[in-house]
Amino acid sequence: MDSQLSGGFLKHTLFPPSNFIPSSITLSNGINVSHNAIGVVEITPPKADKAIVVSSGIHGDETAPIELVDDLVSSILDEAFRPTTRLLFIIAHPDAIHAHTRFIEENLNRLFAVKNPVRNKECELANELQAQVQTFFAKGCEEPWHFDLHSAIRASKHYMFGVVPASSKATDVRPLVGFLKASHMDAVMLSRTPSSTFSWYSAEKFGAMAATFEMGRVARLYENDMGEFVPLREALVALMCSEALPAPSSEKGFSSYKVTRTITKTDDAFNLAFSDDAANFTYFAEGEELAEENGTVFSAIAGGEAVVFPNSKVAIGQRAALLVQPFEPDLSEPLYVNVEREPGPIAYSANHSRSLS
């Protein structure tokens, strides 16, 4: 193919020309491919009913998502499948990928709340990615989706799971839960507080069906067992082609969790009461100590809590852990995930002008 992408999306992202110029081509099947920026490719079919962002590389050492995105773009360019949805593929942070580190100066996945002052590369990237997503969703009125693909830095009692951000939009996320099941993910976690993650940005600003996907463990580029993610790839292709989603796994169950609390580090004196390498979803019985900071002790509440993403080394003001409890949503009713509300059938929009049930 006569294109900058002929050597592959990932290769171009990691080793771009010094004089990159946005370009586009139309494939023989009528699909338009636009190379909007380094690490950003847009796919446009003649007609579409959804607009889907699939992002990876927000953290540079989380490489399985990067390989998956590269594979999907290559398959579209090779006309192995023909999308019927508009798509925006992102490989976000080539500098961090080269360095095999989460970030260079600042956690990129905490910079999507506002336009950032450009104090480092991550701030510059966050601003550019926000602009790319805003432009992409503004081009049409299709149903917006966003899958932000990550890998966990620690062991997890659920190897693959989705985190659905809380927003002030009244969005019934049952289709998203259905997609997670079709992808053979192990669990879903429904948030309660606003965040500044990439998936939250799309949920809050555009009412997107959005989630952060945790795909296994971090590994070196091309050292992932991509066979582990075949069900996720198959579900993504089905969604992109407006086909029926695959059936949920018949071999493993699916767990649902709601966030009970977020523990925020406010001082360098913050300490977790357990090992920093504790697995995600490690359970603590009621009353067991979880963390301490300047005499303030955090203990598990009634019913016990499991801990997700514990990290005592985060910057002051950032999340040091999420605490969750299992629950069973009634999927015969709408499932809304609104800020500071129990996940369930009642939701509100940002303007508080209506209540949905």
Distances (CA, A) of 78 to 29, 303, 340: 10, 52, 45
118-122 contacts at long range (C-beta below 8 A, 24 or more positions apart): 121/95, 122/93
In degrees to the nearest 10, what's the CA dihedral of 64, 85, 203, 135?
100
Decide if 293 is catalytic: no
Q: Which of 42, 204, 214, 305 is catalytic?
A: 214
Q: In the chain, where does DSSP find H-type helix?
A: 9-14, 63-77, 94-99, 121-138, 174-182, 198-206, 230-240
Residue among 347, 322, 301, 335 nearest 163 (CA): 322
* Token pair for 85: 């949805």
Ligand-binding annotation for 150, yes or no, is yes
Q: Residue 8: is it exposed, middle or buried by C-beta count within 10 angstroms (0-12/13-18/19+)? A: middle
User: Contact, 199 vs 165, CB < 8 A?
Assistant: yes
The DSSP H or E segment spanning 291 is strand 289-293
Residue among 69, 241, 236 nearest 162 (CA): 236
SS3 labels along 80-102: CCCCCCEEEEEECCHHHHHHCCC
d(CA 120, CA 245): 41
In degrees to the nearest 10, what's the CA dihedral of 171, 177, 182, 184?
140
Give catalytic residues, as residue numbers.
Answer: 214
Residue ranges of the annotated binding site for Zn(2+) are: 59, 62, 150
Residue ranges of the annotated binding site are: 59, 62, 150
